[in-house]
Amino acid sequence: MINILYFARIAELTGKRTEQLALPAPVTVHAWVVQLHETYPVLKDVGALKVAVNKKHAQADTLIHDRDEVAVFEPVTGG
In a domain, 59, yes or no: yes
Residue 9: predicted pLDDT: 92
- 76 occurs within a structural domain: no
Give the structural domain span for 32: 24-66
Residue 40 belongs to a domain: yes
Residue 52: inside a domain, yes or no?
Answer: yes
Confidence at residue 76, expressed as pLDDT on a 0 to 100 scale: 72
Return the pLDDT at 78: 52
pLDDT of residue 75: 85
DSSP letters spanning 5-61: EE-HHHHHHHT-SEEEE--SS-EEHHHHHHHHHHH-GGGGGT---EEEETTEE--TT
For the stretch 19-71, pLDDT in tens is 999 999 999 999 999 999 999 999 988 878 999 999 999 999 999 999 999 99
50, part of any domain: yes
In a domain, 72, yes or no: no
Predicted confidence at residue 35, as pLDDT, reads 95
Task: Provide the CA 38 distance to its chain's centre, in angstroms.
Answer: 12
* Within-domain flag for 37: yes
Domain count, the chain: 1
